[in-house]
A = this chain, B = another copy of it.
Amino acid sequence: MSWQEKLRNVEPYVAGEQPKIKDLIKLNTNENPYHPGSLVKQAIKDFDEGVLPLYPNPDADGLKSKIASYYELENDQVFLGNGSDEVLALTFLTCFNGEEPILFPDITYSFYPVYCDLYKINFKTIPLNDQFKMNIDDYKQKNSGIIFPNPNAPTGEMIGVDAIEEILKFNQESIVVVDEAYIDFGGTSCVELLKKYDQLLIIQTFSKFRSLAGIRLGYALGNKDIIAKLYDVKNSFNSYPIDSLAQVIGCASFDDTDYIKENANKVIKTREYTVKALKELGFEMTDSYTNFIFVTHPNHDANILFTSLKEKGILVRYFNKPRINQHLRITIGTQEQMEKMVEIIKELLKKD
């Protein structure tokens, strides 16, 4: 057996591109268009680089307690990671060790099947209905775990707390993970269900609502037994995943939540504007509770539209995948950016 044969073969996740093109309007990876806040700026400015020779606090305790108190939870109910992608990766490894397949929607965050491939976890995808909505009854079958984003991505659709409770009630023997990356753009978190359901785990991120995709912070909220197992696995992987600067930046962000909420309100308002404007141009779309919209046009090919927009300096996300290859996922930027996009789309539709 050669050394080459001892290497692991996996098909990695492919994130949206991060091109360096001048004046590009970047609407392809659901980034927040607004500044992370003056307290974050100040925290970086005040940072004493003299502490950098020392290892950071391994479990980011200061930040952990800020998050716990924000959600009115105990410190041992919060798990922190290097972005919610790392939190998700460690969750798959920690929580999904049963014999039955785990369940998630057929159209969802495309990292989920990649984690399953990496860890050799058996999974079964559950089709969304024709309107890209989850059918709750489909999650009433044998499984070793359930995971879905709420709101879902790339559809933007949301299910209510009552629907999540129905899933939890049926699935008392599996861990149910609700990935709330986009919850703060008008959705309702199911965090209150943690009081009633020990097998619920909620995952959130600093990358969207908090405008901190560049700093890599994510977290899980759950009962202390699951959280403790997540820390055991994390401490079998990397003792110090969150650096000293990221810890103070995360704290500053939680201190600036009022400002950040104002930004989210601006995003929501601009989303409403964009939805209305694109509907007037004949686009059809799901109901979005996120900082992106998921649109299709009955008379215009999505891939051609994607390419034409890119040529005009507007980058959106196109997925060449079954069921959604006539859709575009468009991140909500600033009002100005979206008005410009609407103008350009108007011209493109005329030309065709």
Taking a contact as CB atoms under 8 Å apart, the answer to whether A95 and B7 are in contact is yes
A208-234 Cβ-contact flags toward B at 8 Å (1 or 0): 000111111000000001100101111
Give Cα A10 to B94, complex, Å. 9
A322 at the interface (CB under 8 A from B): no
A240 at the interface (CB under 8 A from B): yes
The A contact surface, by secondary structure, is loop
Chain A, 111-156, CB within 8 A of any chain B CB? 114-115, 117-118, 144-145
Taking a contact as CB atoms under 8 Å apart, the answer to whether A216 and B236 are in contact is no
A235 at the interface (CB under 8 A from B): yes
A41 at the interface (CB under 8 A from B): yes
Taking a contact as CB atoms under 8 Å apart, the answer to whether B97 and A174 are in contact is no
Give Cα A92 to B239, complex, Å. 16
Binds B, one of A11-19, A179-187, A274-282: A11-19
Q: Which residues of B sit under 8 angstroms from A172, Cβ to Cβ? A: 3
* Chain B nearest Cβ from A292, distance in angstroms: 14
Number of contact residues on A: which range applies? Answer: 35 or more
A163 at the interface (CB under 8 A from B): no
Give Cα A12 to B236, complex, Å. 5
Taking a contact as CB atoms under 8 Å apart, the answer to whether A12 and B55 are in contact is no
Taking a contact as CB atoms under 8 Å apart, the answer to whether B8 and A233 are in contact is yes
Give Cα A52 to B265, complex, Å. 20
Give Cα A211 to B352, complex, Å. 59
Taking a contact as CB atoms under 8 Å apart, the answer to whether A216 and B232 are in contact is no
A105 at the interface (CB under 8 A from B): no
**Which among A2, A93, A225, A237 has the highest number of chain B CB atoms within 10 Å?**
A237
Taking a contact as CB atoms under 8 Å apart, the answer to whether A199 and B3 are in contact is yes
Chain A, 229-254, CB within 8 A of any chain B CB? 229, 231-246, 249
Give Cα A53 to B18, complex, Å. 13
Counted per complex, copies of this chain come to 2
Taking a contact as CB atoms under 8 Å apart, the answer to whether B82 and A54 are in contact is no
Taking a contact as CB atoms under 8 Å apart, the answer to whether B240 and A6 are in contact is no
Taking a contact as CB atoms under 8 Å apart, the answer to whether A18 and B99 are in contact is no
Indicate whether A244 sits within 8 Å of B174 (C-beta atoms), given known contacts A7-B226, A237-B89.
Answer: no
Q: Which residues of B sit under 8 angstroms from A50, Cβ to Cβ? A: 35
Taking a contact as CB atoms under 8 Å apart, the answer to whether A174 and B6 are in contact is yes
The listed residue (B5, B32, B82) touching A82 by CB distance below 8 A is B82
A17-31 Cβ-contact flags toward B at 8 Å (1 or 0): 010000000100101
Give Cα A277 to B4, complex, Å. 49
* Chain B nearest Cβ from A130, distance in angstroms: 31
Contact surface of A with B, Cβ cutoff 8 Å: 1-15, 18, 26, 29, 31-36, 40-41, 44-45, 47, 49-58, 82-83, 85-86, 89, 93-99, 114-115, 117-118, 144-145, 172-175, 198-199, 207, 211-216, 225-226, 229, 231-246, 249
Q: List 7 A-B contacts (CB under 8 A).
A: A7-B225, A29-B55, A52-B214, A115-B237, A214-B244, A215-B243, A216-B241
For the complex of A and B, the 3 pairs showing the least CB-CB separation, nearest first, are: A12-B235, A52-B214, A214-B244
